[in-house]
Amino acid sequence: MKTKITLLLAFFFIGLNFGFAQQDEECMTKLSIFHEYTKAKNYDAAYEPWMAVRNKCPKFNNAIYVDGEKILEHKIDNATGTEKVAYINDLLKLWEQRGEHFASKTPKGEYAAQAAQLMYDNRKELGKTDDELYASFDSAYQVDKESFSNPKSLYTYFSLMVDLYDAGKKPAADLFNKYDDVVEKVEDEVKSFSEKLNKLIAKEDSGTDLTKKEGKYKKYYESYLKAYDQISGSIDGKLGDRANCQNLIPLYKKDFDANRNNAIWLQRAAGKMSEKDCTDDPLFFDLVNAYHNLSPSANSAYYLGLLKDKEGKTSEAIAFFEQAIGLETDNFKKSKLYYRIATKLKARGSYGKARNYYTQALKLNPSNGRPHIAIAAMYAKSANNCGDSNFDKRAVYWLAAAEARKAAQKDPTLSKAAAQSVANYNAKAPSKAEIFSSGRAGQTISIGCWIGRSVTVPSI
Q: Containing domain of residue 179, as a range? A: 22-191
| Any domain includes 264 | no
The closest of 325, 308, 175 to 235, measured between CA atoms, is 175
**Single pTM value for the model:** 0.85
| Any domain includes 317 | no
Last residue of a domain, one of 191, 226, 258: 191
Q: What angle do CA 6, 8, 13 make, to 5 degrees?
A: 95
> What pLDDT score does 17 carry?
40
> What pLDDT score does 403 carry?
97
The closest of 308, 273, 269 to 173, measured between CA atoms, is 269
| Any domain includes 263 | no
Q: What angle do CA 88, 111, 47 make, to 5 degrees?
A: 40
| Any domain includes 117 | yes
| Any domain includes 300 | no
Last residue of a domain, one of 191, 211, 245: 191
Number of separate domains in the chain: 2
The ranges of the chain with pLDDT < 50 are 1-23
| Any domain includes 290 | no
> What pLDDT score does 185 carry?
96
> What pLDDT score does 388 carry?
85
Helix (H) or strand (E) run with residue 456 in it: strand 453-456
Indicate which CATH number applies to the domain containing 121.
Answer: 1.25.40.10
> What pLDDT score does 310 carry?
86
DSSP secondary structure of 128-146: --HHHHHHHHHHHHHH-TT
Count of residues for the chain?
460
> What pLDDT score does 8 carry?
44
| Any domain includes 174 | yes
For the chain, how big is the Rg over CA atoms in Å?
A: 28
| Any domain includes 357 | no
> What pLDDT score does 314 carry?
87
> What pLDDT score does 57 carry?
94
Last residue of a domain, one of 169, 191, 213: 191
